[in-house]
Chain A
Amino acid sequence: MGLESFREKIKELAKVALNKPSRYGSDINIYEFIPKEPPKINLYESRFSKRLEGVGIDVKASTRSATYFQVDSKVLAYKSFYPGVEILPLEMAIDQYRDFIRDYLWRAVPVDTDKYTAIAELRGSGGYFIRIKRGVKVDKPIQTCLFMVGGGLQAPHNIVIAEEGSEAHLITGCTIMPEVVGLHVGITEFYIEDRARVTYTMIHAWNKVVHVRPRTGIYLSNDSEYISYYMTLANAKSIQTFPKIYAKGDTSRAYSSSIILALGDAEYDIGTEVVLIGQGSKGEVVSRVLAKDNSVTYARGRIVGLGEKVKGHVECRALSLSSKACILAVPELESKSQTAELTHEASIGKLAEDEIIYLMSKGFDEKEAESIVIRGFMDVSIRGLLPSLERTVKSVIDLITRMATH
Chain B
Amino acid sequence: MGVGNKVIVRDVSISVGYSDVVFILGPNGSGKTTLLRGIAGDPRVKVLKGSIVFDRRDITDLPMNKRVELGIVLSHQIPPKIRGVKIKSLLENILKKVGVKEVESRIKELAKLFNTEHLLDRDLFADLSGGEIKRVELMITACLNPKLILVDEPDSGVDVESIKVIADGINEILGRNPGTSALIVTHSGLITKYVPGTKAYVIVDGVITMEGSPRDIFTHVMSKGFKVLKHGVRKL
Listed in ascending order, the chain A residues whose CB lies under 8 Å from chain B are 352-355, 357-365, 372-373, 375-379
B33 CB to nearest chain A CB (Å): 13
- Residues B84 and A378 in contact, CB atoms below 8 Å apart: yes
With contacts A358-B80, A372-B85, A372-B90 known, is A363 near B74, CB below 8 A?
no
Interface residues of B in 107-143 (CB under 8 A from A): 123-124, 140
- Residues A357 and B82 in contact, CB atoms below 8 Å apart: no
Closest B residue, CB atoms, query A363: B68
- Residues B69 and A361 in contact, CB atoms below 8 Å apart: no
Interface residues of B in 41-91 (CB under 8 A from A): 41-44, 63-65, 68-69, 73-74, 76, 79-80, 82-85, 90
- Measured in the bound complex, the distance between the Cα atoms of B79 and A327 in whole Å is 29
- Measured in the bound complex, the distance between the Cα atoms of B85 and A354 in whole Å is 15
Interface residues of B in 86-101 (CB under 8 A from A): 90, 93-94, 97-98
- Residues A355 and B44 in contact, CB atoms below 8 Å apart: no
With contacts A357-B42, A357-B64, A372-B93 known, is A362 near B83, CB below 8 A?
no
- Residues B43 and A357 in contact, CB atoms below 8 Å apart: yes
- Residues A379 and B74 in contact, CB atoms below 8 Å apart: no
- Measured in the bound complex, the distance between the Cα atoms of B83 and A373 in whole Å is 8
Closest B residue, CB atoms, query A361: B74
- Residues B144 and A352 in contact, CB atoms below 8 Å apart: no
Chain B residues closer than 8 Å to A378, beta-carbon distance: 84
- Residues B64 and A361 in contact, CB atoms below 8 Å apart: yes
- Measured in the bound complex, the distance between the Cα atoms of B83 and A365 in whole Å is 20
- Residues A355 and B140 in contact, CB atoms below 8 Å apart: no
- Measured in the bound complex, the distance between the Cα atoms of B94 and A379 in whole Å is 19
* Complex partner residue of B82 from A353, A363, A365, A373, CB under 8 angstroms: A373
A378 CB to nearest chain B CB (Å): 7
Closest A residue, CB atoms, query B94: A362
Say yes or no: is B40 at the interface (Cβ < 8 Å to chain A).
yes
- Measured in the bound complex, the distance between the Cα atoms of B44 and A352 in whole Å is 13
Chain A residues closer than 8 Å to B68, beta-carbon distance: 360-363
* Complex partner residue of A363 from B42, B69, B83, B123, CB under 8 angstroms: B69
Q: Mark B132-173, 1 if CB is under 8 A from A, else 0.
A: 000000001000100000000000000000000000000000
- Residues A358 and B69 in contact, CB atoms below 8 Å apart: no
- Measured in the bound complex, the distance between the Cα atoms of B77 and A358 in whole Å is 11
Sorted nearest first, the 9 A-B pairs with minimum C-beta distance are A376-B84, A379-B84, A376-B85, A363-B68, A360-B64, A354-B80, A361-B74, A355-B80, A365-B65
Closest A residue, CB atoms, query B75: A361
